[in-house]
Amino acid sequence: MPSVAGLLEQRELGARRRVDELREEADRIQAELAVAELEWQEWVIARRRVDTVLASDGGDTASTEFTPDVRDAAAPSAPRDAVKPKSQVPMWREGQPWSVLSADYQRILQAAGDRARLGQGPLTCQEMAAAFGMDVVPARVEALRSKAKRLVARGWLAEPAPGRFTLAQGVAGPGGAS
C-alpha cells in the first residue's frame, strides 16, 4: 500500500504539471494576442493613410494631420466623402488658456481637472467615455486614448500610470490662470 506522503507528492506533481501546461498555453495565447493586435493596428493605420490620400487635393499630405477614425477597425470600411482635419494641439506653455484647444480636448482636460479637484486620482479612458455619455466600446475608448496621449505628448496631461490621465503639473483651469 502506497504511503500518504507518496500519494500527496504524486498529486502535487500532477497539479504542478497542469499549472505549467496552463502557463505555457497562456504565454502562447498572449503571444498570439500581441501579434493579432499588431496586425489590427497596422490595418487601422493603412486605412487611415488611404483615407488621407483619397481626401487630399493632391497637396502636401506630410504637413496635414487628420482626426483618427473612431469606427471599430473590425467593422467594414464604408467610403467617406472626406476626412475631418485634426485639431491642432499646441505644446503647453505657462499661462496658455484651454481655449486654444478644440472642444473635445477641453472636455478631456475638464474631466481630468474635476477628478483632481475631487481628489479621485487619475482618470481612465473608459471613465472618460462614461462621463461623456458615450458607449464604452473599444472604438470610443481608443479614440479618447489617442486624444489623451496627444495631450500627454504636448504637455497638457500627465500619465502617472499606464492608461491613467491627470492634468500635468502647472496646467491651470480653463482660463489659463494659475
pLDDT confidence tier of residue 86, bands split at 50, 70 and 90: low
pTM of the complete model beyond 0.95: no
Q: Which tens digits make up the pLDDT trace of 115-171?
A: 988 989 899 999 999 999 988 899 899 999 999 999 999 999 999 999 999 999 888
Q: Which CATH number fits domain 98-167: 1.10.10, 3.40.50, 1.10.3470, 3.30.40?
A: 1.10.10
Nearest-angstrom CA–CA distance, 148 and 142 = 10
3-class DSSP state of 161? strand
Beta bridge partners of 167: 157
Nearest-angstrom CA–CA distance, 120 and 66 = 33
3-class DSSP state of 157? strand
| DSSP for 118-147, written as a single string | TT---EEHHHHHHHTT----HHHHHHHHHH
What are the boundaries of each domain within the chain? 1-86, 98-167
- Give the pLDDT confidence score for residue 54 in this predicted structure: 87
Going by the DSSP 8-state scheme, the letter that residue 154 receives in this structure is T
